[in-house]
Structure 1
Amino acid sequence: MQTQAQDIPKIFPQAEDFLPINGTDYVELYVGNAKQAAHYYQSAWGFQPVAYRGLETGSRDRVSYVLRQGKITLVLTSPLQAGGPINEHINRHGDGVKVIALWVDDATYSWEATTQRGAESCLEPTTLSDEHGQVVLSGIKTYGETLHYFVERKNYQGAFMPGFRPWNPDYRPSEVGLLYVDHMVGNVGWGEMNKWVDFYARVMGFTQLVSFDDKDISTEYTALMSKVMTNGNGRIKFPINEPAVGRKKSQIEEYIEFYNGAGVQHIAVATNDIIHTVTELKNRGVDFLYVPPTYYDTVLDRVGHIDEDLTELRKLGILIDRDDEGYLLQLFTKPVLDRPTMFFEIIQRKGAKSFGKGNFKALFEAIEREQALRGTL
């Protein structure tokens, strides 16, 4: 029995929420070599093989590998021919997120409701069919060249969607405990944050959950501003960042310079055991930002009692923060691509609904150390 959006309780009553969303359906990245990228996400991150599209399935212009862990589905897509929009995207941006697909009960309604409110269409409602049923897709444009697809799959029983076949390799490294996408962060240019905050409120019925200004998110050298948008049931959260004036080039400016525009900065993935997950990821070669040991000298004075062993958290560099509803544990990878653009956040929530405001200074100083090494600070 599939979840229906109306069955999911609304926890943010101020959201207009005319657009019922069940959760994140998948995240599609355009990459230079999908086969090798799939191996990386299998080997380093424990994602499991699900489906494949390529020459063998009749796809002449692109190849895609679909991987899943928990409720997180990644689609890695590469071009098979010279020229065309996928090559153009990779040439301009490097590897990066192209599609944030949202799981809905009615993709046609979702497209009609959002385009009537001013969204620019990128895909009119389209029905894909095979022997396993049908999937309805539609899509709209959002910041930069990022797209939102609406995916209706209540009448489909196949591995992923029509056009794909099951992918069953022998190679299946174990999972690392990732559960679902907690939030996805978009970086936009100077003065563009409020435009996209308004887009998510007006076009998609989201509400603002929290905001941070340059007093909250700054160091001696750099600053940024951020507002977090959420749908009513809280399953989709999109923080939107823009640069703020600082003495040196901020991480947002660096991202926009190398990505050549706005795009997805990081994907936050949830776990119920961050110590296990981060230990596994480090053992498999995933690089994380360095947190100085002095961070832990006073952290418990700030956050109070926690269930975890502080010695273990210090050893792994895991950050801790508390809000009125509980605490959270989080850690950020270094960029997972050659360009200093996209990275991942590992997060474990112990009641907290916030985003680690108390860690911003330590996090930004860690990012600045990496920027200095790259010569981009």
Structure 2
Amino acid sequence: MSTLDTTSLKLPKENLEAEDFLPLLGTDYIELYVGNAKQAAHYYMAAWGFQPVAYAGLETGLKDRVSYVVQQDKIRLMLTSPLRPGGEINKHIDSHGDGVKSIALWVDDATKSYEETVKRGAESYHAPIQKEDKEGAVVLSGIHTYGETVHIFVERKNYKGVFMPGFRPWNPHYRPSDVGLKYVDHMVGNVGWNEMNKWCEFYAKVMGFAQLVSFDDKDISTEYTALMSKVMSNGNGRIKFPINEPADGRKKSQIEEYIEFYNGAGVQHMALATDNIIETVAALRDRGVEFLTVPSSYYEDLLDRVGEIDEDLLPLKELGILVDRDDEGYLLQIFTKPILDRPTMFIEIIQRKGAKSFGKGNFKALFEAIEREQESRGTL
């Protein structure tokens, strides 16, 4: 299993308009507040091929919570549950259900990252703190973003341990094979009416991001629903945050449904990259992961729309994988149904063959598929 490189990097700049003063080196981990961390960890291992890494709880001196850390290549998830009634975690779960609390960003200097963002207007989540054990030290700081989501800046260049101080290695007998997931491609946030520009400006002003692309209700609409989206990226392109807001339509859009059931703004989906989407999706499907489906007619003129591709059309059609092309290449993508009881968070699997875009040509087919699911839930 690969681990995150903990050395400082001078990364080439991809998004030339980004000020990129932090800078960010990558996604360190994603923390989800969940009702039962032990069972959630088993789900991500059994269904998604994540490997057990670290644990913190009563046995490590924590009295109020328990956390399991699982990893697949460069993707790390921390699953956290409360151990007692009351408190922040219970309140979060009661309001939102299971969901992403923290998007932790790997930085060279967590203190500088905190100071730079707070002086530019970020609301502090917590000031820099240093955690130490015999393996070294990790510095953490945090700021608020949309809804109750936070960004944690993680500085781990002086740490050689399994995850961070306060955790111990977690070595259960059960270690399922991975499914070929590599890294976090992007993380999508849903915000309320007329809030998209506010949060895009936040990422530009506070974190030095720049806009990569925008989509309006003409790009992302069906007969019934519409939404607006802008994609913000840091300078090296390792962190990409599309921000969605609802737009006027005849019926309730997926963004409105999300905000209703999540009770506010939050992370809508994680897009996880693979080098072989056919193998990855086939393995996930065999393990019980359910995906949105599009009509077979989508594939009838696919090659006319996107040109020649390396993959055979038959397995793409059989698995329901979508294809889109931009000026730099093409991409393949597919979206799960909501992976939680509430119709909130889902996961995207994406394979890029040169393309830097986000599948604009698939929006209509995708959102019609989402509408079919909404209709079945009675929330369209």
TM-score band w.r.t. shorter chain:
over 0.9
Instruction: Give the Cα–Cα distance (whole angstroms) in 2 for the partners of residues 230 and 21 of structure 1.
Output: 11
- Give the match for residue 282 of structure 2: 279
Q: Which amino acid is 1:100 matched to?
A: I
Q: Which amino acid is 1:84 matched to?
A: G
Does residue 1:161 correspond to 2:158, yes or no?
A: no
- Give the match for residue 138 of structure 1: 141
CA contact (8 A) 2:8 2:157 kept: no
Secondary structure of 1:203's aligned partner: helix
Select which of 330, 334, 338 maps to 1:335: 338
CA contact (8 A) 2:6 2:156 kept: no
Select which of 116, 119, 131 maps to 1:116: 119
Instruction: Give the Cα–Cα distance (whole angstroms) in 2 for the partners of residues 128 and 2 of structure 1.
Output: 16
CA contact (8 A) 1:53 1:65 kept: yes
Does residue 1:102 correspond to 2:105, yes or no?
A: yes
Q: CA deviation at 1:2?
A: 3.4
Q: CA deviation at 1:13?
A: 1.1
Equivalent residues in 2 for 1:292-303, closer than 5 Å: 292-303=295-306
Secondary structure of 2:317's aligned partner: helix
Does residue 1:232 correspond to 2:235, yes or no?
A: yes
Q: CA deviation at 1:108?
A: 0.1
Instruction: Give the Cα–Cα distance (whole angstroms) in 1 for the partners of residues 323 and 247 of structure 2.
Output: 25
Q: CA deviation at 1:3?
A: 3.7
Instruction: Give the Cα–Cα distance (whole angstroms) in 1 for the partners of residues 100 and 6 of structure 2.
Output: 27
Select which of 4, 11, 20 maps to 2:8: 4
Instruction: Give the Cα–Cα distance (whole angstroms) in 1 for the partners of residues 43 and 257 of structure 2.
Output: 25
1:23-59 deviation digits (Å, cap 9, x = unpaired): 0000000000000000000000000000000100010
- Give the match for residue 84 of structure 2: 81
TM-score, scaled relative to structure 1:
0.99
Secondary structure of 2:291's aligned partner: coil
Instruction: Give the Cα–Cα distance (whole angstroms) in 2 for the partners of residues 183 and 12 of structure 1.
Output: 15
Secondary structure of 1:313's aligned partner: helix
CA contact (8 A) 1:3 1:22 kept: no
Q: Which amino acid is 1:126 matched to?
A: I
Select which of 366, 369, 375 maps to 2:372: 369
CA contact (8 A) 1:138 1:149 kept: yes
Q: Which amino acid is 1:107 matched to?
A: A
Select which of 186, 208, 221 maps to 1:218: 221
1:308-332 deviation digits (Å, cap 9, x = unpaired): 0000100000000000000000000
Select which of 209, 214, 221 maps to 2:212: 209
Q: CA deviation at 1:286?
A: 0.1
Select which of 32, 41, 44 maps to 2:44: 41
Equivalent residues in 2 for 1:308-347, closer than 5 Å: 308-347=311-350
Does residue 1:348 correspond to 2:317, yes or no?
A: no
1:168-193 deviation digits (Å, cap 9, x = unpaired): 00000000000000000000000000
Q: CA deviation at 1:205?
A: 0.2
**Ranges in structure 1 where 5+ consecutive residues have no aligned partner:** none
**Ranges in structure 2 where 5+ consecutive residues have no aligned partner:** none
- Give the match for residue 187 of structure 1: 190
CA contact (8 A) 2:7 2:157 kept: no
Equivalent residues in 2 for 1:246-285, closer than 5 Å: 246-285=249-288
Instruction: Give the Cα–Cα distance (whole angstroms) in 2 for the partners of residues 290 and 321 of structure 1.
Output: 16
Q: Which amino acid is 2:6 matched to?
A: Q
Instruction: Give the Cα–Cα distance (whole angstroms) in 1 for the partners of residues 305 and 7 of structure 2.
Output: 39
Q: CA deviation at 1:199?
A: 0.1
Instruction: Give the Cα–Cα distance (whole angstroms) in 2 for the partners of residues 151 and 361 of structure 1.
Output: 38
- Give the match for residue 310 of structure 2: 307
Instruction: Give the Cα–Cα distance (whole angstroms) in 1 for the partners of residues 6 and 90 of structure 2.
Output: 36
Does residue 1:24 correspond to 2:27, yes or no?
A: yes
Identity of aligned residues (%): 77
TM-score, scaled relative to structure 2:
0.98
1:80-110 deviation digits (Å, cap 9, x = unpaired): 0001000000000000000000000000000
Select which of 357, 360, 368 maps to 2:360: 357
Q: Which amino acid is 2:81 matched to?
A: S
CA contact (8 A) 1:99 1:148 kept: yes
* Number of equivalenced pairs: 376
